[in-house]
Amino acid sequence: MDRRSFCGLTAGALFSKKILASQSPAAEQPGTLRFAQERTGGGPFLNHGHGKQPHILLISADMVGPDLYHPARSLSKHVQIPAIRSLIEDGTFFSNAFCTVPLCSPSRASYLTGRYSYVQGNVERAPEGLETELRADDIIFPEYLKAAGYVTRQVGKCHVGAKKFRDAFGDNDQPWDRWSPPVFDDDEFLAYQRELGVKPQKYAREIVFRRQDRTTPGNSAGGWIVQEDGKPYPFEAQYSYFLGRKAIEAVESLAGSGSLQRHPMYLELDFFDPHQPFSIPAGFEDRERELRQIMSYPDSWRAAQQRDFQRAPDEPEIVDIYRRYWGIYAPEQLIDYRIAYVLQMELVDRVIGMVLTRLKELGLYDNMLIAFISDHGEMNGRRATVDKGVYLHPDIARVPMIFKPPATLPRQHATVQSPASLLDLSQTIFDFAGITPEAKFDGISLLPALQSGQGPEERTILFFGGWHVGVNFDCGIQRRAADGRRYLYSYNCTSQVDELFDLDSEDAVNLISNPEHAKARKELIQFLGAALQADPRWAGYWAEFRIARFNDLPRTEGDMQLFGMPD
């Protein structure tokens, strides 16, 4: 741990004690030793909260790219997300927040455990023998909250192994452990539809891309839905709305039973939307017409079209695999996709607004910590691809991260530009909850940044890939270089092509061969090399990287067989 990170952690602990002390003098007393897993003694931690912890709500959406929310993006100015923007106004927005790996399962495994994860692929595609779920002895941060006295509830997507969620949220939890929502086999949802008098959904207009022969129908990205009898499909019957209602019912049940008077609450609401396949109900027709007036193509999609969608010399092979997988050869289909993506995000925001309104009516909003994140970003047509994958690009590595603190930490709206990671989520929540774990975590608390509006700038945040549509065990790093710019550097193990991206670019291109960025390239290679060499968990990457980028790394002597990692 570097000095800045240590100071950040120390400051976070001090701020945490100050917040809790403002609620109760007992917070100044020494913490009580507890265990996240009582039967095994796993996850020891000190509990400083003494029953005065704030209620906490974590809202996660799936695959939210910067086009939908980031103020530096031109499209975001046309996206109507008033509920999410209200959280920004009431709290702090981290404009340079990142996931550790742009895939659902690995990213969720990482931020739930607070550590770089050994999970490197989604269960649907990974071969036998590759870990796709968290192990029984892994501890996710809601388990700490539960052991510290929180009553824990969860609604929605899991995708890290349902057993871990039942450990954290109880046997009544109903997490669905797959990438797509169970809109046709969730018995509770189907019963809810019947209560509304709504029949199951089907597509009225479906976005179906083409395979690489450019004629055979390929992947469906979903689209606009109606009932199976052709009648309009109401917003209130859409699955994200159903999840929002379940979250509200969970809060109402706890409030009605008096539980919230005795225990702090941790509620996790995990949406699948705006991830494709889209399912846009009735009521968005006017918005679609408005968006069609302003929607355009990314420059990198036009560049791919001009070369007939062939791989560019500065692209790794894995990107070409994804481009052929998605097959976005028709420009009108890309426009449809980009419009549907915005509409699906606006739908999520309406549900979030419904939840926030109910929290305010119940008198819970002001003194609640609310966080909004996504597990990864989205390409949204850049490089003639969509979705995410086992490659690195700013648009799939960057994620929204917003913290609306409780009234005990009053502050004005702020945007923090210093880098942050989903790894920081658990540490920040722990500070608010008065929890000091004794285990090793890879993130830092962002509580000092919430207080001051600025975090540590020179942080090393790593990225990695694995197994998905293709195989690319890449690794990368984000850092600010000596020229003052923030970069993302990617080493692709399955390609001769490395990548260097300007993180402030609207449509980032590979700068790896640009002479103007040669110094920054070498700086980030050395930063990455130092990080890989220092941590034995990255030894497999370091074993190859030190050979492949030998000329850019400091000279070292001695045996290269890794009998033991250096101190």
Compute the Cα dihedral for 498, 504, 509, 511 and give only its sign: negative
Q: In the predicted model, is pLDDT for residue 6 greater than 90? A: no
- Please state which of the four CATH numbers 2.60.120.560, 3.40.720.10, 3.40.350.10, 3.40.50.10490 is assigned to the domain occupying 52-139+146-409: 3.40.720.10
pLDDT band of residue 130 (cuts 50, 70, 90) is confident
Nearest to 64 by CA among 271, 352, 354, 297: 271
Averaged over 438-458, what is the pLDDT? 94
Q: Which of 390-394, 421-425, 560-564 has the lowest mean pLDDT?
A: 560-564
Q: In the predicted model, is pLDDT for residue 27 greater than 80? A: no
Residue 228 CA from chain centroid, whole number? 33
What pLDDT shows up at residue 304? 98
Q: Kindly report the backbone phi and psi dihedral angles of residue 116, in degrees, each rounded to the nearest multiple of 5, phi listed first.
A: -55, 130
Q: In the predicted model, is pLDDT for residue 312 greater than 90? A: yes
| Residue pair 130/467 in contact by the 8 Å Cβ criterion | yes
44 has which bridge partners? 35
What average pLDDT is seen over the chain? 92
At 396-418, the pLDDT tens digits run 999 999 999 999 887 768 999 99
At 250-272, the pLDDT tens digits run 999 999 999 999 999 999 999 99
Amino acid found at 493: C
One DSSP character per residue, 265-305 reads EEEEEE--TTSSSEEE-TT-HHHHHHHHHH----HHHHHHH
Averaged over 117-144, what is the pLDDT? 90
Residue 13 neighbours by CB distance under 10 Å: 18
Nearest to 254 by CA among 240, 264, 269: 264
| pTM recorded for the entire structure | 0.94
Q: 265-270 and 55-61: which strand pairing?
A: parallel
Q: In the predicted model, is pLDDT for residue 26 greater than 80? A: no
Averaged over 185-194, what is the pLDDT? 96
Q: In the predicted model, is pLDDT for residue 2 greater than 70? A: no
% residues pLDDT > 70 (the chain) = 93
3-state secondary structure of 483: coil
pLDDT band of residue 286 (cuts 50, 70, 90) is very high
Averaged over 296-322, what is the pLDDT? 97
Nearest to 334 by CA among 286, 387, 372, 281: 387
Give CATH 3.40.720.10 domain extents, the chain: 52-139+146-409
Q: For the chain, how are helix, strand and coil distributed in percent, rounded to 5?
A: 40, 20, 45
Q: At what angle do helices 82-90 and 331-361 cross, to 10 degrees?
A: 60
Q: In the predicted model, is pLDDT for residue 377 greater than 60? A: yes
